[in-house]
Amino acid sequence: MLRNLKIKNLALVDDAKVGFNDGLNVITGETGAGKSLLIGALRLLLGERADKSMIRTGETACSVYAEFGLEDTAHVDAILSDIGLEPCAGGLLIIRRVITSSSSKTMVNDEPVTLQVLKRLGNVLVDMHGPYDHQSLLDTGTQLGILDAFGQVGNATAAYQAEYSKLCEIQRKIDALNSDNEEDLDRQIEFLAYRIAEIEAAKLSVEEDGQVEEEHSVIANSQQVIELANGTVNALTGSDEGCAFDALAAAQRNLNQLVKLMPEAQEWHDEVESAVAQVQEVVRSIESSAAGIDASPERMQWLDDRLTTYQTLKRKYGATVEEILQNRETWKQQLDELRGRDKKRAELQAGLEVVLQSVEKAGLELRGKRENVADHLSGCITRELVDIGFEHGFFDVQLTPCTPGPSGMDEIEFGFAPNAGEEMRPLRMIASSGEISRVMLATKAVLARHDRIPVLVFDEIDANVGGEIGGAVGRKLAQVAECHQLICITHLPQVAACGTTHLAVSKKVEGGRTYTEVQLLDKESRPEEIARMLGGKDSTNVTFQHAKEMLAQSG
């Protein structure tokens, strides 16, 4: 249950602390006194977006605080655990929100959380019903949700929706295939095929790329290469006096003699002998390479053409050979997909037929469960309507098969016949908002027995209702409050008299400023408030006595 609600500097509320109890908590007061501010504060605590205009004039911040005492904390603890917070200690949950002109701070059990967390908590803590929410009862989506909640068909609904999601995904892929222009596809296929053919015809390789460039450079400078190679060979072993080989040979002869005189000269001798061998090897390598240069016009033309091929393809399809070959594989995959579209479309269509059968099977199972509870829901709501003034009224739930959709394979229509002799009409065709409000109350009364949400809030659900019907509505609210804490803003004295806790909201002006106050009424002050509701400012002893009698009858 909601134990306490504290409000500071919110609109007309300067500083208020409101305590709530089990059962039916009624909130009354003159129009404009600020009753709905209490509900507005609660909505803020349950995730509604804040507006800095809510801050009381002259103040820099406003705050709201709620304290819940929960008998069953399982659902709340699951949410807290999901965001890494500790479970409720002793069933106590405290939500606090501070709003400034530039920021909003939200706390749950003194730990910061997001608005999304507040909304999740609100979904398991409080069922809010405002003065215009009864119109939602006319929406077929809401009606289907009511039937499913009453029948507790969550597992069947989840099974159907899982299959329906598969169906939608396959259909999305088929639509994507069918949405493309065939002429554009043909152009894409032709373009990709040309690219791939051009690359494959070139027979590119990373190794050849480097070799062609290197050989082209050598042949382009072949005359200079040969001259330098010959010059190097002559310098090393040429016939001219003073070549390196002759010098090394002379040194080797001297060292042959020196070894006989100095044993340590053997090392020098070996090193010079090694140098002679190296010079000979270098000369052979230079001569072999120079002799292998093919500087023919035919070879040069081939290298020119090959180098041009590599440069052209790099300019068109990638900076390197590796990138070109990688792009070719990507384009081949795309080309295969485009050429295989008809095959892919056929495969998807076959898969669609299989999944559609699964959807229809799950939909029929869901429909069976809904049909099993539809008559029961009709009877339950009809009985509740009798209690709130529709003695001969009848409520009906009609299910009609339809093609698979997100919610199943059923269309729903709530029907209502308010009086004897009237034919059943769709609820949406009822003009009286008072009648619709009572139907909503009857629906809530039925669902309350199956609903685990601890707190129900009704903001003027009794609008456009009066007289004896008002008393019936009050008694029905009190009945619902036997299994839920119920908070109700009302203008009807008949409803207010049924409350177990009565809070009166009033407005006063002090020092040129307006203040909203909330007072918990006791046995002495409560008849006065009921009398005010009965007679307004012209309350008399008769209205006061009437108020006392109403309270006595309700008690």
Asked if 373 and 438 count as a contact pair (C-beta separation under 8 A), the reply is: no
pLDDT-derived band at 432 (thresholds 50, 70, 90) equals low
Whether 146 is covered by a domain: the verdict is no
Q: What is the mean pLDDT of residues 147-163?
A: 93
Give ∠ CA 16-476-395 in degrees, rounded to 5.
130
- Say whether pLDDT at 478 is over 60: yes
Question: Is the Cα dihedral 227, 233, 238, 244 positive or negative?
Answer: positive
> Minimum mean pLDDT among 217-226, 305-314, 371-380: which range?
217-226
Q: Which domain holds residue 325?
A: 183-339
Whether 399 is covered by a domain: the verdict is no
Q: Where are the alpha helices (DSSP H) in 48-134?
A: 74-82, 115-125
Q: Do residues 303 and 231 share a domain?
A: yes
pLDDT-derived band at 326 (thresholds 50, 70, 90) equals very high
Whether 440 is covered by a domain: the verdict is no
How far apart are the C-alpha atoms of 523 and 539, rounded to whole Å?
18
Higher pLDDT, 273 or 195: 195
Q: What is the mean pLDDT of residues 218-245?
A: 63
How far apart are the C-alpha atoms of 163 and 379, rounded to whole Å?
32
Q: Do residues 20 and 83 share a domain?
A: yes
> Minimum mean pLDDT among 128-137, 228-237, 403-412, 535-544: which range?
228-237
Higher pLDDT, 443 or 402: 402
Q: Which token pair is 257?
A: 């003699």
Q: Do residues 323 and 456 share a domain?
A: no
Whether 197 is covered by a domain: the verdict is yes
Q: Do residues 196 and 324 share a domain?
A: yes
Q: State the SS3 of 406-455.
A: CCEEEEEEEEEECCCCCCCEEHHHCCCHHHHHHHHHHHHHHHHCCCCCCE
Whether 242 is covered by a domain: the verdict is yes
| pLDDT at res. 296 | 66
Residue 123 is part of a domain; what is its CATH number?
Answer: 3.40.50.300
- Say whether pLDDT at 471 is over 90: no
Total structural domains in the chain? 2
Q: Do residues 107 and 242 share a domain?
A: no
- Say whether pLDDT at 424 is over 80: yes
Distances (CA, A) of 43 to 8, 137, 492: 15, 21, 23
Q: Do residues 108 and 204 share a domain?
A: no
Q: Do residues 11 and 101 share a domain?
A: yes
| pLDDT at res. 69 | 93
- Say whether pLDDT at 174 is over 90: no
Helix, strand, or coil (residue 69): strand
Place of tokens 């929706």: 161
Q: Do residues 198 and 85 share a domain?
A: no
Whether 165 is covered by a domain: the verdict is no
> Domain boundary at 318, 339, 360, which?
339
Q: Do residues 15 and 126 share a domain?
A: yes
Higher pLDDT, 277 or 227: 277
Whether 377 is covered by a domain: the verdict is no
Number of Cβ within a 10 Å radius of residue 516 = 22
How far apart are the C-alpha atoms of 76 and 259, rounded to whole Å?
101
Q: Do residues 84 and 227 share a domain?
A: no
Q: Do residues 192 and 55 share a domain?
A: no
How far apart are the C-alpha atoms of 240 and 36, rounded to whole Å?
116
Q: Do residues 88 and 227 share a domain?
A: no
How far apart are the C-alpha atoms of 185 and 420, rounded to whole Å?
67
